[in-house]
Amino acid sequence: MKKKTPSSRRSADDRGFRLGTGFFALLVVLLVAGIFWELYRTSQLSLEKFGFKFWTGKVWDPVSGEFGALPFIWGTLYSSVLAMLISTPIAIGIAVYLSELSPRRLRTPLAFLTELLAAVPSIVYGLWGVFVLVPIVRQLQVVTPSWLKKVPLFSGPPLGVGMLSAALILAVMVIPFTSSVAREVLRAVPATQREAAYALGATRWEAIQAALRYGRTGIIGAIILGFGRAVGETMAVTMVIGNNPQVTASLYAPQYTMAAVIANEFTEAADDLYLSALIEIGLVLFVITVIINACSRLLIWSVTREVKFKPPKPVSTVAVPAAKGA
């Protein structure tokens, strides 16, 4: 047995611990790198054959081997943007209410309830969408006055399934993500911001505005985070959007999204090119969501971190010594 001083053995042990646990932490990073590499590798066929044309082509015809992904990009972006337009004001409203306005006693249960929205599995939203929401939307389409139907936004037969149903259900699913992060951001805004506003005679809303302005980068991060969720959401959208690859502005028209086409056609992809084209859509979905999530994290951290490391001095400790000196 080699002679070792206890302290050197200890530091060797500690290094082993650091490297050992560090290896598992490294696995998390390797996982993300591995996903990218695997998707890139298996989509080679389609990447080489179509190049950039893949993203501008409007025709998706697996039988003749023609793959254009524009309708899916369109459907994903359109549904996500619509969902954000609906959900963002509500989510910010929830965050403001829960962090600034609600009675203390209501705060925790209400926060729990809104976050429960995120816990409901996507497939359950889909089931509810198919059997409850879609018939309601169809009814709405039936009673749409004919002059309104001439507007491209509301044109098309009353099918129920389509962009409007998808956007509505996405909005519900995204609200809890945006609102809980926005709440976290607002909680990180120092109380002095609001106190200062009140001291200057601000109303409640004006004080809230001050807090929102202070945390605006984080709030934007929260919105982007919700957008990332909407872009990647699969099952519920697949079940209510109608799955018809077309580029149209109509809210009533059945459309298709990137995630939905993968979910629907992956097991049917008979030849290698078809499969590779679907994986390329997955690759782009991955890259987009990684970028979106990276941006939103950085924005959110810039607010919540800053405060954690540099707690602003409470007003009283600054004011009291000055008063004593005077």
Q: At closest approach, how far in Å is the CB of 77 from another protein? A: 15
Cα dihedral 32→34→37→38 (10° resolution): -120
Which C-beta is closer to another protein: that of 187 or that of 297? 297
Which C-beta is closer to another protein: that of 80 or that of 248? 80
Which C-beta is closer to another protein: that of 208 or that of 251? 208
Q: At closest approach, how far in Å is the CB of 325 from another protein? A: 36
Q: At closest approach, how far in Å is the CB of 145 from another protein? A: 26
Measured between alpha carbons, how far is residue 177 from residues 94, 186, 311 in Å? 11, 14, 26
Q: At closest approach, how far in Å is the CB of 208 from another protein? A: 7
Q: At closest approach, how far in Å is the CB of 319 from another protein? A: 28
Q: At closest approach, how far in Å is the CB of 122 from another protein? A: 7
- The candidate with the shortest Cα–Cα distance to 285, out of 233, 238, 239, is 233
Is residue 252 within 8 Å of residue 154, measured between CB atoms?
Answer: yes
Q: At closest approach, how far in Å is the CB of 298 from another protein? A: 8
Which C-beta is closer to another protein: that of 22 or that of 314? 22
Which C-beta is closer to another protein: that of 152 or that of 195? 195
Is residue 257 within 8 Å of residue 237, measured between CB atoms?
Answer: yes
260, with CB counted inside 10 A (0-12, 13-18, 19+), is buried
Q: Is residue 271 classed as helix, strand or coil in its secondary structure?
A: coil
Helices (H), the chain: 6-42, 44-50, 70-96, 104-119, 122-128, 134-142, 146-149, 163-188, 191-199, 204-214, 216-232, 235-240, 258-265, 272-309, 315-325
Distance CA 277, CA 257 (A): 14
Q: At closest approach, how far in Å is the CB of 38 from another protein? A: 4
Contacts with 240 (C-beta within 8 Å, 6 or more apart), sequence order: 126, 129, 130, 133, 134, 161, 162, 165, 166, 169
Is residue 245 within 8 Å of residue 60, measured between CB atoms?
Answer: yes
Count other C-beta atoms under 10 Å from residue 40's C-beta.
15
Tokens of 157: 């037969």
Is residue 273 within 8 Å of residue 64, measured between CB atoms?
Answer: no
Q: At closest approach, how far in Å is the CB of 188 from another protein? A: 16
Which C-beta is closer to another protein: that of 147 or that of 309? 309
Q: Is residue 269 classed as helix, strand or coil in its secondary structure?
A: coil
Contacts with 114 (C-beta within 8 Å, 6 or more apart), sequence order: 94, 98, 175, 176, 179, 180
